């Protein structure tokens, strides 16, 4: 069915979380088929397209310019393709996600590749307590990584940022990249750039009813999801209020998925707006922050 969106929906976090979890659980077998997992086994140097993009930026903020030997916590890791890619870049990795089937798929992938990874099930908004329970209260991380398709599923960025700060060791680095909040306002089905959805947050959700996912041709049974708008100011302020120092920001022009049918695929597999539209609307927001 065609996606149906209703903005300004009042919904409790537990109800929204349950709907989103059912949807993401349904996505797992579709994504296992569509994510190209065979490439990881065929080529021991293969990295996900997301990590190939993120790694050079992240490494500029690391002592020694490398993930080698560093402890990294990947929040909202899904089926683990980015997590195992970060492990291949040298990190000791822990993945956190609320979907048990996703973590089962991630564990199978890592085990098949001979990668030592730990997986923690539960909400990212409880990440510190979850890591304490699974790995011990003394476990902190040199890097917290979260990239592409993350904070829109969260209602409370203040809690999110506090979890990140609590997970990081002193001097540790947060690497965040996601779809740009401005991109989230665009009507993806129009033939020109038209803002349809809210940019600013007011606590209300955007309710989607859509049986498709962003990759592959399969459909899900649990079609209803809820997302929240988070402007750039809210993201940055939440991180600052949690005690982190912003070291870098960037607004990118490409995406690792086709947000709109109008987007053009690039030789590297990412997507961009056609023609002059590429300079009109940013596609991603990247923030690098440090715990002092």
Question: For 193-204, what is the mean pLDDT?
Answer: 96
For 277, what's the count of Cα atoms within 13 Å in the CB-facing half-sphere?
19
User: What letters, b where the CB count within 10 A reaches 16 and e where it falls short, cover 196-227?
Assistant: eebeeeeebbbbbebeebebeeeebebbebbb
CA dist 139 and 162 (Å) reads 16
Q: Which position has the token pair 């700060």?
A: 165
Longest dimension (CA), the chain: 53
What is 4-291's CATH number, 3.40.50.150, 3.40.50.720, 3.40.50.1460, 3.50.50.60?
A: 3.40.50.150
| Confidence at 3, pLDDT banded by 50, 70, 90 | low
% pLDDT > 70, the chain:
99
C-alpha of 33 from chain center? 19
| Residue 90 near residue 67, CB atoms below 8 Å | yes
Question: For 97-120, what is the mean pLDDT?
Answer: 98
Does 284 score more than 70 pLDDT?
yes
pTM as predicted: 0.96
Distance of CA 89 to CAs 55, 72, 78, 84, 105, Å? 8, 11, 19, 9, 20
Question: For 158-167, what is the mean pLDDT?
Answer: 98
Residue ranges per domain, the chain?
4-291
Does 4 score more than 90 pLDDT?
no
Beta strands (DSSP E) in 167-233 are 168-179, 205-209, 224-227
| Residue 77 near residue 104, CB atoms below 8 Å | no
């Amino acid at each position: 069915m065609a996606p149906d969106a209703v903005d300004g929906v009042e919904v409790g976090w537990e109800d929204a979380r349950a709907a989103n979890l059912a949807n993401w659980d349904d996505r797992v077998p579709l994504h296992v088929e569509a994510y190209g997992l065979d490439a990881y086994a065929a080529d021991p140097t293969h990295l996900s397209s997301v990590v190939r993009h993120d790694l050079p930026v992240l490494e500029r903020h690391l002592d020694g310019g490398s993930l080698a030997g560093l402890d990294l916590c990947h929040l909202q890791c899904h089926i683990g393709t980015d997590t195992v890619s970060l492990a291949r870049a040298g990190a000791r990795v822990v993945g956190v996600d609320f979907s048990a089937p996703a973590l089962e798929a991630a564990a199978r992938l890592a085990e098949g590749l001979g990668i030592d990874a730990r997986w923690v099930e539960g909400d990212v908004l409880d990440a510190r307590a979850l890591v304490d329970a699974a790995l011990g209260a003394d476990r902190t991380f040199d890097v917290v990584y979260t990239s592409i398709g993350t904070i829109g599923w969260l209602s409370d960025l203040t809690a999110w940022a506090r979890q990140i700060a609590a997970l990081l060791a002193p001097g540790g680095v947060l690497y965040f990249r996601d779809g740009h909040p401005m991109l989230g306002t665009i009507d993806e089905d129009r033939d020109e750039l038209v803002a349809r959805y809210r940019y600013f947050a007011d606590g209300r959700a955007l309710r989607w009813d859509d049986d498709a996912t962003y990759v592959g041709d399969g459909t899900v049974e649990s079609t209803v999801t809820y997302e929240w708008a988070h402007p750039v100011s809210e993201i940055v302020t939440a991180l600052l209020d949690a005690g982190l120092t912003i070291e870098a920001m960037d607004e990118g022009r490409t995406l690792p998925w086709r947000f709109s049918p109008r987007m053009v695929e690039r030789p590297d597999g990412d997507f961009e707006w056609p023609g002059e539209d590429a300079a009109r609307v940013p596609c991603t927001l990247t923030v690098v922050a440090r715990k002092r």
